[in-house]
Amino acid sequence: MSRKPTHTQHTPNGMKNKFHAIGWDGIAMLLLSNLLIVFSLGTSIFYLLMKVVMTAQRSPANTRGEILIVPGMQLVANQPNQEFIRRLSKASQISTPNKTPKILILGGLTGGNTISEAQAGRRYLEQQGFDTTQIFLEEKSNNTLENFRFSKQLLPVNEQYPIIVSSRYHLARCSTMAKHVGIAHTLCGAEDSLSLTPRNILLLLKEAYHLHWYHSGRYWATLTRNQKMLARLR
């Protein structure tokens, strides 16, 4: 639920697209999530924060495999930022030796850019001399959940346990979304270890907040048997 809309976010059209992507159900579940945080005195989000932090700390940095999934990030003037580059570089480093790995790069058109995040990721790997015949793109998504829902359709049926390569603060949400759409997986941190800088602490808190929102919506939709919401959250 974190990806940006197609147009620039500071424009009226961008805000309208962002609201359309979230929808009234999403807004209602955001309010419910906030109420649960208040009534639980913060314990509900604290539990998820611990999960986010432990996943970030414990995920390996050198897992090797033949299928890798790399979530994208919003581009800067059609170019991947340093954090996205770190994810892509890690994926190329951990590719199984002596085999041609398959890399699935995720991310649609965001911000004011004219190419998708996935396209920019492929261009970067091309410039690094990577074999692009085995790079596949998922370009329809607008958020992390859609990333994995759409990517499942691109994964070979007979292949199991792709490796999700992402920034450490992002791994818990990636894992949750992948699990809930039925992708069995392993994780790999783009960084060698988690550094608790002020920026990373804020990002960990943000991830816990997004997970709390997601779980609140999922549980409410299940409880009320809201099939429309469940379809969006699966």
> Do 128 and 90 fall into the same domain?
yes
Give pLDDT, residue 130: 84
**Local structure of residue 132 (DSSP, 8 states):** G
Most confident of 41-50, 56-65, 141-150: 41-50
From the list 185, 232, 206, the residue with the least C-alpha distance to 27 is 232
Residue 67: domain span: 61-189
- Which residues contact residue 53 at a Cβ distance below 8 angstroms, ignoring those fewer than 6 apart? 194, 204
Whose structure tokens read 């604290």?
46
User: How far out from the chain centre does Cα 169 lie?
Assistant: 10
> Do 72 and 161 fall into the same domain?
yes
Asked if the model's pLDDT at residue 163 lies above 70, the reply is: yes
Asked if the model's pLDDT at residue 20 lies above 80, the reply is: no
Residue 176 belongs to some domain of the structure:
yes
Pairing mode of beta strands 186-189, 135-138: unpaired
Rounded CA separation 223/230 (Å): 10
CA distances for 113 relative to 51, 80, 98, angstroms? 34, 11, 36
> Do 172 and 91 fall into the same domain?
yes
| Count of domains forming the chain | 2
Average pLDDT estimate for 105-109: 93
Asked if the model's pLDDT at residue 14 lies above 50, the reply is: no
> Do 37 and 89 fall into the same domain?
no
Three-state DSSP at 233 gives: helix
> Do 147 and 216 fall into the same domain?
no
CATH number, domain with residue 87: 3.40.50.620
Three-state DSSP at 108 gives: coil
- φ/ψ of residue 65, rounded to 5: -170, 175
Contact (CB, 8 A) for 115 and 149: no
User: What tokens appear for 86 in the block?
Assistant: 């770190």
> Do 160 and 216 fall into the same domain?
no
* CA trace torsion 35, 41, 43, 46 (10° rounding): 80
Contact (CB, 8 A) for 155 and 67: yes
Prediction pTM value? 0.84
Give pLDDT, residue 69: 95
Give pLDDT, residue 90: 94
| Identity at 133, one-letter amino acid code | T
> Do 34 and 130 fall into the same domain?
no
Rounded CA separation 209/30 (Å): 10
Residue 2 belongs to some domain of the structure:
no
User: What tokens appear for 39 in the block?
Assistant: 């009534």
Per-residue model confidence as pLDDT tens digits over 124-142: 999 988 888 889 999 988 7
Residue 139 belongs to some domain of the structure:
yes
> Do 38 and 70 fall into the same domain?
no
User: What tokens appear for 36 in the block?
Assistant: 């649960």
> Do 86 and 175 fall into the same domain?
yes
